[in-house]
Every structure is written in structure tokens, then in C-alpha cells.
Amino acid sequence: MPKLKLGENEANYTYGNTNRTTVQVGKILEKRYELFSTFLEVCGQDISDGLAEGMAKRIDALIEGKAKSPENPYAGLGLSVEKRFRKFLNTYEAERVGIPGTPTKAAKKGINHRGKANYRRPSFIDSALLRDNFRAWVED
């Protein structure tokens, strides 16, 4: 049975006196805000539909007599989940779905570590490293 996996490319997330990786920051955000769990709750039906579509492609290939489907039937799903997660953050959706503590104080104050002007920003996008290194893939 195929499984959707979520994770981060491990990149250094260093600012001020903080030295963590994107993986560590992701774990902190999940524990404190349930960011990834909430994303899956909000987008779960679309993700399930994508998995079902991939399975249907695989079944169609078998019915047509092909030993294996000519391509990974889930190839596009990981990329579409990644794109959807980035939209979830960029459009402030993560703040509108009931995550306690959002918008975060840092987002309201416009705190960021990219060296850009301080303005109200979406929660969970400080340096954009976490958002940009988010990955999704399907394992059989």
C-alpha cells in the first residue's frame, strides 16, 4: 500500500545564537503547533484523491497487460503536495484553520532573518528555509 511521506531536506537553520537544522525546526513546529498534522487534516482529501488516482493508473496498466506502469503513478503527487504546503503557508491559510498560537508573535512583528524589511509576514516563514526545503514523496 502506498504511503505519503513528509519531510525536510536537511539544511542549516542558523540565526543569532540559534544553530539548528530544518529537520529540527520542523519537529519543533509540529510539536508546538501541529503544523504538518493540521496541513494533512486540511488537505487530506486532495492527497487521498491523488493517491487513489495513482493507484487507478497502476491498475489500468495491469489490465492493459503491462507488467508495470510505464511511469511512477505517484510521480506528480509529491510535487503537488509540496506546492500545496507552500501555498498553505504563503497565503496565511495556516493561520486561518485554527492552529492555536497563530498568527505567531514573530509573524505579527515582522521578524525575519532574511535581512528584508520587517513587515507582517505569514507564520512559519521566518527565513523561508523550512518552507523551501519541505518535501513529500510516495513510497510503495
Task: Give the tens place of pLDDT for each residue, 78-101.
Answer: 888 999 999 999 999 999 999 999
Domain limits, the chain = 3-102+134-139
Percent of the chain clearing pLDDT 90 (strictly above): 45
Claim: this prediction has a pTM higher than 0.85: no
CB-based burial label for 22 (10 Å; 0-12, 13-18, 19+): buried
Q: What are the tens digits of pLDDT across the range 24-75? A: 999 999 999 999 999 999 999 988 888 888 778 778 877 887 655 556 777 7
Give pLDDT, residue 67.
59
Could you tell me the CA-to-CA distances from 129 to 8, 24, 108, 135 in Å, in that order? Answer: 10, 12, 19, 12
